[in-house]
Amino acid sequence: MAIEMRFESMRLIKLLGMIFFCLSVLAAIVFYIHRTGYRIFYQPTPSMKQGWYFVTPPKHFMRGAIVVFTPPTKTLHFLYQHHWVPNSGLLMKRIVAAPGDRVCVKQGRVWINHRKFASVYRYYAPHRALPQNDFCGILPTNYYFLMSTRVRRSFDSRYFGPISAKAIVGNAYSF
């Protein structure tokens, strides 16, 4: 009986060692991937397709691409205050206008290259104002206008303005 208990203890120790080894290898792989600029990102809100995304390091961005980015500091405080952003502080939106495009936020609308693109709302709830952005001009080099094309009341560049390429973490691809 003592031999059986010893044998079972040895099997348990061996199993725990294998589990520890596998977790260590997985942690090393995740660390390496993250260090090289790749990430896994979860999109929790319906403003973009909900689910897991693979994020690649930022290279070049074009209209229509889905990107993960850090919003401006003032905007981030507003988002945290309303619990509209995950703890990471990162958002995901689609590039709807790129450098050289004319974007104008005026009269309750977003105009891109002289075409009406979307509505701009003043309130997110009765008597609860949204930040207002009055950008109107040609997007400079390395600036992008980001919006949700799924949810018309999404919180996006309509309310915080164009985003610098420096704030973009990378391109996002759905699993």
Q: Which residues contact 26 (CB under 8 A, 6 or more apart)?
A: none
Same domain, 48 and 127: yes
For residue 162, give the nearest of 174, 150, 175, 146 by alpha carbon.
Answer: 146
Question: How many other CB atoms are found less than 10 A from the CB of residue 170?
Answer: 20
Same domain, 6 and 78: no
CA triplet 26, 91, 151: central angle to 5 degrees? Answer: 125
The strand pairing partners of 56, in sequence order, are 171
Same domain, 1 and 61: no
How does pLDDT run across 120-170, given as a tens digit for each residue? 999 998 989 999 999 999 999 999 999 998 898 999 999 999 999 999 999
Q: What is the pLDDT confidence band of residue 2, given thresholds at 50, 70 and 90?
A: low
Provide the domain limits for residue 3. 1-36
Residue 29: Cβ-neighbour burial (10 angstroms; 0-12, 13-18, 19+): exposed
Q: Which residues contact 87 (CB under 8 A, 6 or more apart)?
A: none
Same domain, 75 and 122: yes
Look up residue 75 and give its two tokens: 């905007």
How does pLDDT run across 49-100, given as a tens digit for each residue? 999 999 999 888 999 999 999 999 999 999 999 888 888 899 999 999 999 9
Same domain, 12 and 88: no
Q: How far is CA 43 from CA 3, 5, 91, 158, in A?
A: 53, 48, 8, 20
CA 119 to chain centre: 22
* Residue in this structure with the two tokens 């199993």, named with its chain if needed: 15
Same domain, 74 and 155: yes
- What pLDDT is recorded for position 39? 86
How far apart, in whole angstroms, are the C-alpha atoms of residue 101 and residue 105? 13
For residue 167, give the nearest of 158, 157, 175 by alpha carbon.
Answer: 157
The domain total for the chain is: 2
Which CATH number fits the domain that encloses residue 117? 2.10.109.10
- What pLDDT is recorded for position 148? 93
Same domain, 10 and 44: no
Look up residue 16 and give its two tokens: 């725990």
Query: Quick check: 1 pLDDT over 60?
Result: no
Give pTM, 2 decimals. 0.81
